[in-house]
Amino acid sequence: MQNWVCEGENVFDNGRRVVVTGLGAITPCGNTVQENWDNIKSGNSGIDLIKAFDTSEFSSRIGGEVKNFDPLDYIDRKEAKRMDRFVHFALAASQEAMISFEGKDIDGENIATIIGSGIGGIITFEKQHENLLSKGPGKISPFYIPMMISDMASGLVSIRYGLKGPNFCTVSACASGGNAIATSFMLIKNGYSDAALTGGTEGTISPMALGGFCSMKALSTRNDDPKTASRPFDVGRDGFVMSEGAGVVLLEELEHAKARGAEIFAELSGVGMSGDAYHMTSPVPGGAGAVHAMEMALRDAGLEPEEIDYINAHGTSTLYNDRAESEAIRSVFGERDSLHVSSTKSSTGHLLGAAAGIEFVVCVKALLEQTIPPTANLKDVDPECQVNHVTGRAAEKEMNHILSNSFGFGGHNVSLLLSKF
């Protein structure tokens, strides 16, 4: 069978360019893009002991909870009661991403809404299951189903702004937000949409979610020192830290953005998506799926490996993921000092389906400020994770192209390539 991607040739290019004109972020590190960036750039941690419920019987008692967040700052009380927490986050981040439209009429006919979520309304699911067991089926909320289903973030965001283009949710575990952004890029690139509000959202700090990941032994149990628990690539890492929040961005076709006088922050110049076809939870040894995704993004953008200045790694702080990704990076890019790597999950924890969205926002800020955020807590690099890590403090560097990686259970791989505009 002939390979549909010709080596050295960008078969996707049809002249339409996709740019970033809006950014929104809600994470454990802050409730605005700037607050997040300031903390992540400084290597500050948003991780702490979980306060939402009693964790005394759990092996991991830490997480990245969003702080000082009131959905009523974004939604009226009646609406908020009919939405799960993951939708609250999506609406808040979308409001920040859509700020350039504030006070203006929106022609939403050709604007897509694609917001990924790996788990959706699990908090609602748990609460309504408790109602079923304790009070019977007659006490299940009539809003249970629409509050729980993962597509409701994209649905309600599109309703809020009157966005009538393609509207759906991508569900691919921790690659969900990346798949949403990549799909939005392709829709704009191929003329199906002129713009897209896209990214990821997750609200999973709940007993069932925490318990499930604890049973898998996937989470850090560094309960005595939450701030240093997320330590990607470090020899002492013992699992990821589950977090909540949303990262949403506004993408536009270049001429569409220019026509409305939008501020352009960066260009999304290429995307790559692949599957491991290997295992339910573990990445394929050697990172072949990640290699495929990164190489596809490079081809899509028409760039050579030596042109990439920084990689925001998926870097979850788990044993096999960090090693497979490091090997994949070395396979594609070699071992060159000019390529820097860091994982900002060291500050935010792992936002699961929202991770790619917030990390995309971080990469845009890195390009704008020509600054690479560090991998916090990385003190002793695993010998099998040797790449050019940025540790300790942020590094100032002239950058033109940044790659952001996101991978998910089930073997989902996404690489997004951002370029200076």
Q: For the chain, which residues make up each domain, given as ranges?
A: 18-421
Give the Cα separation of 250 and 168 in Å (integer). 15
d(CA 254, CA 252) in angstroms, rounded, equals 6
How far is 421 from 407, CA to CA, in rounded Å? 27
pLDDT confidence of residue 79: 95
DSSP letter, residue 102: T
In this structure, are strands 266-275 and 412-419 parallel, antiparallel, or unpaired? Answer: antiparallel
DSSP tag of 378: -
Helices assigned H by DSSP within 167-318: 176-189, 207-215, 254-259, 288-301
The CA distance from 345 to 331, in Å, is 23
Q: What is the largest CA-CA distance in the chain?
A: 63
Q: Are 321 and 283 in contact (CB under 8 A)?
A: yes
Q: Where are the beta strands (DSSP E) in 237-298?
A: 245-253, 266-275
Nearest to 360 by CA among 289, 232, 294, 265: 265
DSSP letter assigned to residue 304: -
Q: Which residues are tagged catalytic?
A: 174, 314, 350
Q: What residue has token string 């952001």?
A: 404
Structure tokens at 396: 């100032």
Task: Tell me which residue of 298, 342, 317 sits closest to 231, measured CA to CA.
Answer: 317
Cα angle 281-285-286, degrees, rounded to a multiple of 5:
135
Tell me the CA end-to-end span of the chain in Å, nearest whole number: 38
CA distances from 190 to 183, 252, 262 (A): 11, 12, 21
CA 99 to chain centroid, in Å, comes to: 20
pLDDT of residue 6: 41
pLDDT values of the chain reduced to their tens digit, one per residue, 421 residues = 334 344 445 545 578 999 999 999 999 999 999 999 999 999 999 999 999 999 999 999 999 999 999 999 999 999 999 999 999 999 999 999 999 998 888 989 999 999 999 999 999 999 999 999 999 999 999 999 999 999 999 999 999 999 999 999 999 999 999 999 999 999 999 999 999 999 999 999 999 999 999 999 999 999 999 999 999 999 999 999 999 999 999 999 999 999 999 999 999 999 999 999 999 999 999 999 999 999 999 999 999 999 999 999 999 999 999 999 999 999 999 988 899 999 999 999 999 999 999 999 999 999 999 999 999 999 999 999 999 999 999 999 999 999 999 999 999 999 999 999 9
Evaluated on CA atoms 29, 354, 298, 260, the torsion sign reads: negative
65 and 28 Cβ atoms separated by less than 8 Å: yes
pLDDT at 288: 95
CA 134 from chain center: how many Å? 36
pTM of the model: 0.95
DSSP at 373: P
Q: Which of 1, 194, 213, 223 is nearest to 108 (CA)?
A: 194
The residue type found at 370 is Q
Fold of 18-421: Peroxisomal Thiolase; Chain A, domain 1 (3.40.47)
Instruction: State which amino acid sits at residue 246.
Output: A
pLDDT value at residue 133: 97
Query: CA–CA separation, 385 vs 237, rounded Å?
Result: 12
Tokens read off for 5: 């991607």
Tokens of 27: 């994470």
Residue type, 283: P
